Structure 1
Amino acid sequence: MATKTSKRTGESSTTVAVGIRIDPKIKFALDIMGRLQKRSLTAVIEWAISNAIAQQSLDFDGNTLSSVLDKVWSTDESARLVMLAHHLPEALTYDELRIWETIKASDYFWHTYPDGSFGDDFNRLVLSRVRGAWKETLDHVEKHKSSPTIVAMTPDDIIADIEF
C-alpha cells in the first residue's frame, strides 16, 4: 500500500489509497448515505468499515476485532507481527506464521533460563532484538522458505550482515 505524501517534504499522510470494486447498487446506497450524513463518499466508507470492525466478534473470548486492534496495531512492522501472533494467532497468514515460528525457534530473541534453555513465553521475548534483526529475519525466512521445517536463526545469521 502506498502512503500519500503531503506537500511538505518528508511528511507522510495518515491515510492510504485503496482501490476497490463494488456493485453499482451499493455505490448508489453509499452516495445516498453520504448525502443524508453530510459526508463524502470516503468518509461514509470509512464510517461503514469502522462500524463493521467494531461489530466483528472474535468467537473465542467475546472481544471485538476493534478491541484487539488496539492491542495489535503498531507502525512498526515487526512489533505488529509479534502482537498479532500473541493476541490473534489464527489471523496470521502462512508467511507471517513462518516468520513467527522462526522467531519462536531462535534463542537470540528470548531471555534464556539459567540452564541456557528458552521457551516461547511471550513475557520472555526481547522485542528490541526482533526489531533490530527484522531485515535479517525476513531474509532468513525467505532463504529457507522451501524447507519443510522451521530453521532457527543463530547469532551468526544476525550479525553476518552487520558491517564493522
Structure 2
Amino acid sequence: MEKSQGGRVDLGSRNKSEVITIRINPKLKFGLELMARLHNRSVAQTVEMAIQRVLEDPFDGIQNLRDVRYERDLIEKLWSPHRGERLLRMVLTHPELLSYEEEVLWHKLTRAGVTEDYLEGTGLDDLHLRPNCNQREFEERIADFWDKLDETERSATSKSKGKSRKEPLAP
C-alpha cells in the first residue's frame, strides 16, 4: 500500500467486505436462491446487489423515528475508510445518527481532552470546527485515541481470560 499525503495509507483501492449474519424465513431464502440463479450470481452477491439498490433508491417521504431524511448521497458524505474521519463527519453533520457505542466513544474523547483544541459549541447538536483548525490532525488524534482504547480493552480481555484458565498441576 502506498502512503498518501499526511502519512495516511491509501485505502481507496482496497475492496474489503464485511461479514453480516441475517435470519430470514425459508420463503425469502428460496427467492434469493432463485434470483441468484437467474442472475448467475451467488446468494451473497445477490443480497449485496439488493442492498445497494435499496440504498440508492430510498423511500422518500417516509418519516423515521429520528426525524431524519435519508439522502441519496448521505453515505458518500459520511463514509471514510479512516474511522476517526468517519466519526468526526458523523458528529459534525448528523450527530443524531450516532450509535450508542459511537456516543460513548465521543464522550470518552471529550472527557480526555482530545476535542478541546479543535471544536467550538456545546453539546453534540451545536458542534463545529474552530476556525483554522487542522482537521486532518484532529482526525488522526481521534483515531490514535480510539486505537489506544482498543488496545487497552484487548489487554484487559486477555488478562481476564488468563485469570480464568487453571494452571496445570505439577506432577
Distance 2:104 2:80 in 1: 20
Residues 77 and 50 of structure 1: is their aligned pair in 2 closer, same or farther, counting only changes over 3 Å? same
The CA distance in 2 between the partners of 1:126 and 1:20, in whole Å, is: 41
User: CA–CA distance in 2 between the matches of 1:90 and 1:97?
Assistant: 10
TM-score by length of 1: 0.58
In the other structure, the counterpart of 1:50 is: 52
Partner of 1:88: 94
How far does residue 109 in structure 1 lie from its aligned partner after superposition?
A: 2.4
Which 5+ residue runs of structure 1 have no aligned equivalent? Answer: 1-10, 111-117, 144-164
Could you say if the C-alpha distance between residues 98 and 129 of structure 1 is closer, same or farther in structure 2, counting changes exceeding 3 Å?
farther
TM-score, normalised with respect to structure 2: 0.56
2:144 is equivalent to residue 135 of structure 1: yes
Q: Is 1:109 aligned with 2:121? A: no
Per the alignment, do residues 89 and 56 of structure 1 end up closer, same or farther by CA in structure 2, a change over 3 Å counting?
farther
Match of 2:155 in 1: none
In 1, Cα distance between the equivalents of 2:91 and 2:82? 14
The amino acid across from 1:74 in the alignment is S
Specify whether residues 16 and 136 from structure 1 end up closer, same or farther in structure 2 by C-alpha distance, changes over 3 A only.
Answer: closer
**Aligned partners of 2:90 and 2:59: how far apart in 1?**
16
Going from structure 1 to structure 2, the CA distance change for 1:38 and 1:18 (only over 3 Å counts) comes to same
Structure 1 position 121 matched with structure 2 position 96:
no
> How big is the shift at 1:138?
6.7
**CA RMSD after TM alignment:** 3.4
Alignment-derived partner of residue 14 in structure 1 = 16
Identity of aligned residues (%): 23
Separation in 1, partners of 2:59, 2:87: 20
Q: 2:103 aligned to 97, 101, 104, which one?
A: 97
How many residues end up aligned between the 2 structures?
Answer: 125
Distance 2:147 2:117 in 1: 15
Which whole-Å CA distance do the structure 2 matches of 1:72 and 1:40 have between them? 29
